[in-house]
Chains A and B, each alone.
Chain A
Amino acid sequence: MNIERISESGKLTLKLEGRIDTKSAPELDETVRTSLDGVTSLIIDLKEVAYISSAGLRVLLIAQKQMNKQGEMKIINVSEDIMEIFEVTGFSDILTIE
């Protein structure tokens, strides 16, 4: 998985590319844990992500919990298949998806 970080005054966009699975999720976890200082708006762009497993959902939940304390988080460009996973797991009610 590739993670592109675009940061500008309190707003951070993470553009993800590839599969978010057991092997790649720790890298995203690390990025989320170390990048959110002073961030009030987090945008996670899933345009180039076709697959997310429970390991990836776990990281999204960690990020959402953190951002609930310090600002807002949005997920953008969600494919139909990933949207279905969000719906099945109730994540579609927790996450802000645009």
Chain B
Amino acid sequence: MKELFIEAINDNLDQVLAFVDEQLEENDCPMKVQMQIDLAVEEIFVNIANYAYDPETGPATVRVDVTPDGSVVTITFVDNGVPYDPLAKADPDITLSAEERQIGGLGIFLVKKNMDDVKYEYVNGSNILTLKKGLRGEKR
């Protein structure tokens, strides 16, 4: 298990992605799966950066845990900002036309679609969001 403790600001996104990608590459993660994971990591980290401590900034912890056989990664984000369950939000209606579609609101939806499992908890003043994804390509 590896952990990154970092200030949750958009400028640190590249550093967070580099940290996650390093663990994925060590486990021969296929490019496509890495892209899906990057997408989810970006959405979650940027959400924390933009909203958790708004209008101030604060820290986040990013934890990456790969099973010993290298088949499943669990990525955990912890922040101490305002309690916020991103999964509580209704999914956007993806059948609407361009005119009817709202600008934005796709981030968490993409996370749910691209990960095998997404879990939110609020424990002892911390938002804890956990992503799980199989690294061998096909969805389990």
> A-side interface residues toward B, CB under 8 Å?
21-23, 50-51, 53-55, 57-58, 61-62, 64-65, 68, 81, 85, 88-90, 93-94
Q: Tell me the complex Cα distance, A51–B42, Å.
A: 11
| B18 interface hit (Cβ, 8 Å) | no
Nearest B-chain residue to A82, judged by Cβ: B35
Contacts of B114 in A (CB 8 A): 88
Q: Tell me the complex Cα distance, A41–B38, Å.
A: 32
Q: Tell me the complex Cα distance, A22–B46, Å.
A: 8
Contacts of A85 in B (CB 8 A): 39, 110
Count: A-B pairs, CB below 8 Å = 59
7 closest A-B pairs (Cβ-Cβ)? A90-B94, A54-B107, A54-B106, A94-B98, A88-B113, A64-B98, A22-B46
A22 touches B42 (CB 8 A): yes
Quick one: given A23-B10, A58-B104, are A53 and B43 in contact (CB under 8 Å)?
yes
A61 touches B94 (CB 8 A): no
Quick one: given A65-B99, A94-B101, are A22 and B10 in contact (CB under 8 Å)?
yes
Quick one: given A23-B13, A53-B43, A54-B43, are A94 and B106 in contact (CB under 8 Å)?
no
Residues of B73-104 contacting chain A, CB below 8 A: 94-99, 101, 103-104
